[in-house]
Amino acid sequence: MKIVRYPSKKLEEIYRRGFIRSRRIEEKVKKIVEDVRLHGDEALIRCTKKFDGIKLTAKQLSVCERDVSCAYQNISQDFVESLKTVTNNITRFYRRQTVKSFRLKDADGVCLWQNICALDRVGIYIPAGEAPLVSTVYMTVVLAKVAGVKNIVLVSPPGSSGNINPHILVVADLLKVKEIYRVGGAQAIAALAFGTKTIGRVDKIIGPGNAYVTEAKRQVFGYVDIDMIAGPSELVIIANRFSDPKLVLADLKAQMEHKQAQVYLVTNSKALARQIKAELHGNGYIILTKNLKEAIEVTNQIAPEHLEILIKNPRALVKKIKNAGAIFLGPFSPCAIGDYLAGPSHVLPTGGSARFFSGLNLLDFIRSTHVISYSKKALEKAREPLEKIVNVEGLTQHWESIKIRL
């Protein structure tokens, strides 16, 4: 790891890390997306053979009941039991996150209200290349269920056997996901966005993926909604001379298990900086500040996916942290507890996008409709301001549509 002092030009590069895009990947993904849009299942079969080395028929794109039954034979009963604890934690957390319809009325006959309803059909992408992200299944599907989504479509790339990882299938089945397809990469995102003969299009696509999946989500946004543009996994640790170096080291190493993970230690302790640099080799930065105030400033600029505060009184800093996907406080709250079990979803903004994106929540699975009802009396009362504003814009027929009612 490299030591960087605050302030420096290198820090500016770190702050802007999310702006980097690959034109080569953009062009490749564009061709894949267009191929799937035009040729549907044929394109999916072609891409699966080319990128995954698996030859499938159109019928085999769908996971059937027999596939799910076989998956149960390859997992332990203990795994199933553990899921109950996890899903209970997630359900309990998100049931508190209420979003309600409301109505406003006045004496003149104006009635305004907001209707809230769940999205009808949501597609969830589960990566399986670097590691089968079994936890991402329940970290997405449970939220969709709590929000009231009726139709959940799960896609995940097939392994060398031609099947989806059995743990992914079992979790999806236990959560009552009825549509599962063995397809991954940019082609899976295109299928969800535009639909094929086998895979019906969805309203929104949720879930992380590699650079090709991420770019495909960016390109189909607008035809379909997406959760966010996610990049490599990230961790910032704020620590000082009172922090346990063993915990700092362990948590940085854990994050670096993810391919291309970006890790940062922000500290005002030169001794800790030297020790971590000597013991941890790999990509990442140790950012040396004069005090914790500067450490907070650096962290807010980085806007990390995960933030651990490993000082003696971590709660003292929380209110000063404006930009972070998820914050973990103290020595017994490692980032890994949020990855698997705590409750809040681990689908979080990366690349500095925590400045304007939130972690996955119920709002991602619902939409609102605004309803407007005016009486004649209310419309007459609004006549003067309406006429003035419409005349400024010069849209005469707009005013005529109001005047004819008066």
Q: Which residues participate in catalysis according to the annotation?
A: 305-306
Domains of the chain as residue ranges with CATH: 2-20+232-355 (3.40.50.1980), 40-226 (3.40.50.1980), 374-403 (no CATH)
Q: What is the pLDDT along the chain (406 residues), one digit of tens a residue?
A: 999 999 999 999 999 987 778 999 999 999 999 999 999 999 999 999 999 999 999 999 999 999 999 999 999 888 988 899 999 999 999 999 888 899 999 999 999 999 999 999 999 999 987 678 899 999 999 999 999 999 999 999 999 999 999 999 999 999 999 999 999 999 999 999 999 999 999 999 999 999 999 999 999 999 999 999 988 999 999 999 999 999 999 999 999 998 889 999 999 999 999 999 999 988 899 999 999 999 999 999 999 999 999 999 999 999 999 999 999 999 999 999 999 999 999 999 999 999 999 999 999 999 999 999 999 999 999 999 999 999 999 999 999 999 999 9
* pLDDT tens, position by position, 288-344: 999 999 999 999 999 999 999 999 999 999 999 999 999 999 999 999 999 999 999
**Chain segment 278-303, per-residue pLDDT in tens:** 999 888 999 999 999 999 999 999 99
Task: Using CB atoms within 10 Å of the CB of residue 333, give its burial: 0 to 12 exposed, 13 to 18 middle, 19+ buried.
Answer: middle
